[in-house]
Amino acid sequence: MTSASFPTSQRLGQTSLMRLGIRNTGKRTVPALTVSVSIAGQEGQASTLPFAIHDPQPELAQPDRPVWVVAAHYPKFDGSSAPGGAESSNQKTYDFGQLKPGKTTNVVWKLSAVKSGHYDLLYAIGAGLGNQAKAETGGGAKPGGSFSVQISPARLDKEVNASGEVVEKKPAQSGK
């Protein structure tokens, strides 16, 4: 990891960028740079969605409840207009493709907070979708980290537009 950023204080409806800078310090090409994302705790780990918690209430048609909603065409490589991270068979894991030795890549998610509370957002870096390649830090630990985020219930004056983006509400036109 070269960098990691995500605002630790957010408001409902606020859109924020989660950015990760990842460097291949090894001597071999990483076959598939992966980033797995989940929310800490039993409800986050039980969810099948990356930015969600699992509601234990019985008989819910969809018990996974988003804490953040990922904007269309994200994640992507920072500075690119094209989507970059393809979801894998595990919805919590994004595949960013190969990373050559000595190279650094920066990836970004555009997220809108939709559930208030305190959450620890976890991320883990991997070197492949199978078990043949393993990512590790110089000390042998698995690379990754977390963000401790407080989402305030105070809503911003926002709405979802036709493209699915969270945007500022336009002031109502007066009929004068």
Please give the Cα distance from 161 to 152 (Å, whole number). Answer: 22
Q: Is residue 53 part of a domain?
A: yes
Share of the chain above pLDDT 90, in %: 60
State both tokens at 101.
Answer: 């030795």
pLDDT at 71 (0 to 100)? 93
Q: In total, how many domains does the chain have?
A: 1
pLDDT at 81 (0 to 100)? 82
Top pLDDT among 176 and 125 is at 125
Instruction: Look up residue 44 and give its DSSP letter.
Output: H
Q: Is residue 135 part of a domain?
A: yes
Question: Band of the pLDDT at 155, cuts 50, 70, 90?
Answer: low
Measured CA angle at 127 (ends 66, 46), to 5 deg: 30
State both tokens at 174.
Answer: 């007066």
Q: Is residue 28 part of a domain?
A: yes
Q: Is the predicted pLDDT of residue 175 greater than 60, yes or no? A: no
Top pLDDT among 57 and 164 is at 57
Q: Give pLDDT tens digits for 2-32.
A: 899 999 999 998 999 999 999 998 899 999 9
Domain span at residue 14?
3-162
Q: Is residue 116 part of a domain?
A: yes
Of residues 155, 133, 108, 139, the one with CA closest to residue 31: 133
Q: Is residue 168 part of a domain?
A: no
pLDDT at 130 (0 to 100)? 64
What is the mean pLDDT of the segment spanning 59-70?
94
Q: What Rg, from alpha-carbon coordinates, does the chain have?
A: 18
What is the mean pLDDT of the segment spanning 128-145?
70
